[in-house]
Copies of this chain bind each other. A is one copy, B any other.
C-alpha cells in the first residue's frame, strides 16, 4: 500500500508544475462549470484540479479570467469548424447547439458582462466567424438579404440561451423547434 491509496500529501513540485497546473485548472473548471454553472465556488475548481488555492489565483486572478480561458477553446474550435468553404449558417446553429448542450456556462459567460474587454475579445472572434458565414450564404442565395450579422448573433445567442434554460432531456426537442423558427426567418424572402 505504498502509492495508490495514499493520501498524497501533495508535495510542492516547484515551478515545473506551472503549465501543467494551468491545464489542469482549465479542465477542472470546464467540469465544474458544466455541473454547477459559472457561479460555482471558485475554490471548487482548485480542489477538483488538485491544485492549491493560491495557484489558482496566480494563474487566473479572477473569475472571468478563468472562464475566458476555458471558453477560449470553444471559440477556437468554432473557428476551426467553420473554416471550410462548405460550412453554412446551419452548421453554426448546429455547433452552437452542441456547445450549449455540453456547457451551459458558455452562454452565461458570453451573456455576462459584455463590457469586460476579455469577453469582448472572445465575442469579436465569434462575430467574425458568423460574419463570414453569413456573407457566403447570402452570396449563394441561401440566406435572405434582409439579414444582418446582428440578426445571426442574436439568433445564436437566443438559441443557446433557450437550450441552457431547459432540462437536459428537453434540449434536443427545444433545439429542433427553435432552429425551425430561425430557418424560416433566415430564408430568402420572396
A 163-190 to B, binary, CB cutoff 8 A, 1 in contact else 0:
0010100000010011011101101011
**Cβ B165 vs Cβ A151 within 8 A:** no
Interface status of A158 (Cβ within 8 A of chain B): yes
Bin chain A's interface residue count: 20 to 34
**Given known contacts A157-B162, A157-B165, A165-B111, is B184 in contact with A189 (CB within 8 Å)?**
yes
A162 to chain B, nearest CB (A): 5
Chain B residues within an 8 Å CB radius of A82: none
Q: How many copies does the complex hold?
A: 4
Residues of A within 8 A of B (CB): 111, 114, 146, 148, 150-151, 154-155, 157-159, 161-162, 165, 167, 174, 177-178, 180-182, 184-185, 187, 189-190
Given contacts A154-B174, A161-B161, could you give 5 more A-B pairs where the C-beta distance is less than 8 Å? A114-B167, A154-B162, A157-B165, A161-B165, A184-B187
Q: In the assembled complex, which residues on chain B have CB atoms less than 8 Å from the CB atom of A157?
A: 162, 165
Bound CA–CA A165/B162 (angstroms): 13
Residues in B whose Cβ lies below 8 Å from that of A180: 146, 151
Q: How far is the CA of A158 from the CA of B184 in the complex (A)?
A: 16
A178 / chain B contacts, CB cutoff of 8 Å: 154, 158
Asked if A181 and B177 make an inter-chain contact with CB atoms under 8 angstroms apart, the answer reads no
Whether the pair A177, B154 counts as a contact (CB closer than 8 A) is yes
Complex contacts, A167 vs chain B, CB 8 Å: 114
Q: Which 6 A-B pairs have CB atoms at the shortest separation, nearest pair first?
A: A158-B158, A181-B185, A184-B185, A111-B165, A185-B185, A161-B161
